[in-house]
Amino acid sequence: MASFVHSTVIPVLGDRDGHGDGTMQHESASTLVICIAWACAAWCSFILLVQLIGFTQLYRRYSTIPIPAASLQLPEDEIPHVTILRPVKGLEPQLYECLAATFKQTYPQNKLTIYLCVASRSDPAYATLQRLIADFPGFDAKVFVEEDDPNLSGVGGQETNLGPNPKIRNMSRGYREAKGDIIWVIDCNVWVGKGVTGRMVDKLCGFAPGGRRLAPYKLVHQLPLVVDSVGASKGEEARGLLTDETNEDGPEIPPIRNAHGGLFSWGGGRLEEIF
C-alpha cells in the first residue's frame, strides 16, 4: 500500500521583509558611492582642464626666447635707474645663485643699485651677502643690516611701526635710500633670468620695439614658477660659504635632511605646485 506525505510550505513574512530592507540599503549605499565617484571624477576633470590651459599658455608664451628689451636700445642717459631690494633671512636653498642672478642682468650696470637687506650680522646668510659683494665689486651694491638702522634702533626710532614681518623691517632702509623712480623687490629665494629687468622697465615705462611708446603700467608683478628644490641642502650651502672670518678647519656641517622624506614628501611638494 502506498503512503502519501502531505507538506505545506508557509512563507515567513519576517524573512522576506528583512531581505527587502537589506536590498534597499544596499541600493542606497551603491547610489551614494556612485554620486561620490562622479563628484571626484568631475573634480579631477576640472583640475586636468586647468593644468591643460596652463601648459598651453606656457607653451604659447614661453616656448621661444624673449626679444631683447626695448629700453636697452635707448641712449644711456634715457635708461631709467632701477633699485633692487633683496630681503634675506636665513640660508635658503641655492641662496647664492638666486642673489647672484641680480648681478647678472643685461641691464646697464651703472643703472642698477642693489641692496641686500638682513636683520643682523649673526644671521647665517650674512656671510653669503659679503661674498656676493666681493664677487661683484663693480656694482653699486650694499648690505644693509637692520640693527644698524638709526630709524629702527629704538632710540627715538620707529621700532614698532613696521609690524612683525622681519623682511619688511630689514629692507625698510633700502627703500628709504633707493635711487631712481623704479624699485624692484625680489625675495631672496627667487632666481630671475638675465633679461627680466629690461622687460620690466619696458612695461613700467611703456617702451616698445621700434621706438614706439605704449601705455605704461603702474605696477609689474612677476609670477614665479615654483619648483620643488632637490639640490643643495642648507648644510651644503653653509659648507660652500666659508670666509676668512670662519674656521675652515672646523667640523664638517652635516646636511639637513627632511624628517618627512620619501614618497609622502615628494607627493606633497608636487601637489602643492598643482594648486
The contacts of residue 257 (CB under 8 Å, 6+ apart) are: 233
In a domain, 176, yes or no: yes
Pairing of strands 182-185, 140-145: unpaired
Give how many domains the chain has, as a whole number.
Answer: 1
pLDDT digits (tens, 9 = 90+) for 172-211: 889 999 998 899 999 999 999 999 999 999 999 999 988 8
In a domain, 254, yes or no: no
Cβ atoms 133, 141 nearer than 8 A: yes
* pLDDT band at residue 144 using 50, 70 and 90 as cut-offs: very high
In a domain, 130, yes or no: yes
Domain carrying residue 201? 70-211
User: Burial code of 150-160, b = ≥16 C-beta within 10 A, e = fewer?
Assistant: eebeeeeeeee
In CATH, what number is assigned to the domain containing residue 84?
3.90.550.10
In a domain, 90, yes or no: yes
In a domain, 83, yes or no: yes
> Among 95-109, 140-154, 198-212, which is the least confidently predicted range?
140-154
In a domain, 21, yes or no: no
In a domain, 43, yes or no: no
> Among 7-21, 29-43, 178-192, 250-264, which is the least confidently predicted range?
250-264
Q: Check residue 67 and give its pLDDT.
A: 86
In a domain, 62, yes or no: no
